[in-house]
């Protein structure tokens, strides 16, 4: 660590200093071989849910859970409100869209079905999925924007009332919509491009070679989609907290992720697995109830209003619990990368000190 006067220590310097921990070997205050000329490194300040220094994986996850627990009124209020609103609309849309699903499922029992019937069934299924996905996307955009603001306040130890959170996030919602749509298009497009050569070969009549090429192209498309997902995973916090435009936020995310792709991928994957486990635990009772309603047979899944309502309630609870986790991990990863590369911790410490004056 360079102690020359007039030089601001970098994030990497502070990471090495903070990793030394408390008094020990070669430090003042403990152990043999103490160096009286080397002062002990003070612990990093922690005005909020995380210490202001480079974070470990556990600290990022703990910070996300601590934010949801400590500021539960705003965090859970935002996620629950968004989940209830979006899931209610999705339930109604699904129920109305698939009210004739019993007739459509009868196509499976027919030895021959006309092309018009198959096309109509496919259009109905895809239309319902598209409508439900669009409603879910709108809810995700609002939740991500507001919860990112909550996390940014929690890092400074400041509460974020729902009214202030909405006021801070609302001007960025249109840009967030563009960002989500563009990133989703890039990710799905990269996967689809990987399938095109194999599907074209199948269409040309070479089914065996086409299937093999489709499988390889699918793997390549998945790899490209994963790379894009992580590269632009920090764009939303950059757009909200730095008030960047859509393209500028994507470039900003790419710059922050550069050189740390595998680390960020591992943390995001771990957070995704945690969210999956929480969702599965919440939705198990709903699945058991639906199974009982279907007479114990998993093969018959009628779309009825009672089953839709039960599924909607479990999905609402699952979303309300998991949205703060995903938004918290992403926002804290963004701050951690800026601490490591841009000494954001110094700026945060000053902001926290000014807020406490």
Phi (first) and psi of residue 59, to 5 degrees: -70, -35
Residue found by looking up tokens 């590369």 in the block: 341
CA distance 220 to 198: 12
Across 312-322, average pLDDT: 89
Give which of 272, 253, 263 is closest to 186, Cα–Cα.
253
**318 or 207: which carries more pLDDT confidence?**
318
Give which of 57, 79, 58 is closest to 68, Cα–Cα.
79
pLDDT at 193 over 80: yes
DSSP-assigned beta bridge partners for residue 30: 27
CA distance 261 to 277: 24
Spatial neighbors of 89 by CB under 8 A, at least 6 apart, are: 135
Across 161-171, average pLDDT: 92
Q: With bands split at pLDDT 50, 70 and 90, how would you rate the model's confidence at 134?
A: confident
Q: What are the Cα distances from residue 2, in Å, to 7, 13, 78, 197?
A: 8, 8, 45, 55
Per-residue pLDDT of 6-15, as tens digits, reads 444 444 454 4
For residue 176, the model assigns a pLDDT of 96
For residue 201, the model assigns a pLDDT of 87
CA distance 240 to 249: 9
For residue 1, the model assigns a pLDDT of 42
Spatial neighbors of 28 by CB under 8 A, at least 6 apart, are: 34, 35, 36, 38, 39, 40
Q: How would DSSP label each residue in 209-221? A: HHHHHHHHHHHHH
Per-residue pLDDT of 276-313, as tens digits, reads 999 889 888 877 777 776 665 555 455 677 777 888 88
pLDDT at 24 over 80: no
CA 220 from centroid of its chain's CA atoms: 23
Q: pTM score > 0.85 for this model?
A: no
Phi (first) and psi of residue 8, to 5 degrees: -80, 125
Residue found by looking up tokens 């000329």 in the block: 37
CA distance 150 to 328: 9
CA distance 236 to 256: 12
CA distance 1 to 333: 25
């Amino acid at each position: 660590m360079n102690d020359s006067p007039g030089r601001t220590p970098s994030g990497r310097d502070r990471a090495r200093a903070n990793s030394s921990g408390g008094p020990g070997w070669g430090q003042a205050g403990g152990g043999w071989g103490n160096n009286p000329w080397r002062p002990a490194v003070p612990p990093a300040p922690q005005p909020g849910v995380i210490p202001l220094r480079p974070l470990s994986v556990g600290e990022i996850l703990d910070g996300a859970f601590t934010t949801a627990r400590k500021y539960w009124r705003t965090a859970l209020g935002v996620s629950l409100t968004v989940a209830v609103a979006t899931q209610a609309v999705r339930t109604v849309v699904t129920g109305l869209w698939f009210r004739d699903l019993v007739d459509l499922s009868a196509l499976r029992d027919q030895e021959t079905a006309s092309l018009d019937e198959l096309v109509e069934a496919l259009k109905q299924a895809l239309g319902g999925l598209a409508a439900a996905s669009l409603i879910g996307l709108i809810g995700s955009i609002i939740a991500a924007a507001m919860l990112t603001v909550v996390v940014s306040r929690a890092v400074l130890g400041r509460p974020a009332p729902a009214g202030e959170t909405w006021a801070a996030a609302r001007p960025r919602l249109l840009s967030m919509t563009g960002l989500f749509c563009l990133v989703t298009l890039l990710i799905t497009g990269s996967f689809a491009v990987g399938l095109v050569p194999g599907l074209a070969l199948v269409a040309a009549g070479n089914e065996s070679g086409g299937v093999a090429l489709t499988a390889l192209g699918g793997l390549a498309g998945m790899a490209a989609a994963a790379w894009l997902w992580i590269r632009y995973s920090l764009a939303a916090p950059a757009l909200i907290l730095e008030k960047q435009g859509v393209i500028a936020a994507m470039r900003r995310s790419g710059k922050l992720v550069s050189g740390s792709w595998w680390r960020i991928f591992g943390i995001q994957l771990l957070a995704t697995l945690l969210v999956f486990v929480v969702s599965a635990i919440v939705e198990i009772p709903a699945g058991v109830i639906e199974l009982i309603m279907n007479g114990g047979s998993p093969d018959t899944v009628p779309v009825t209003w009672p089953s839709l309502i039960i599924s909607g309630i479990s999905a609402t609870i699952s979303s309300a619990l998991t949205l703060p986790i995903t938004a918290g991990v992403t926002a804290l990863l963004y701050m951690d990368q800026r601490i490591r590369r841009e000494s954001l911790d110094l700026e945060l410490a000053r902001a926290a000190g000014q807020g406490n004056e």
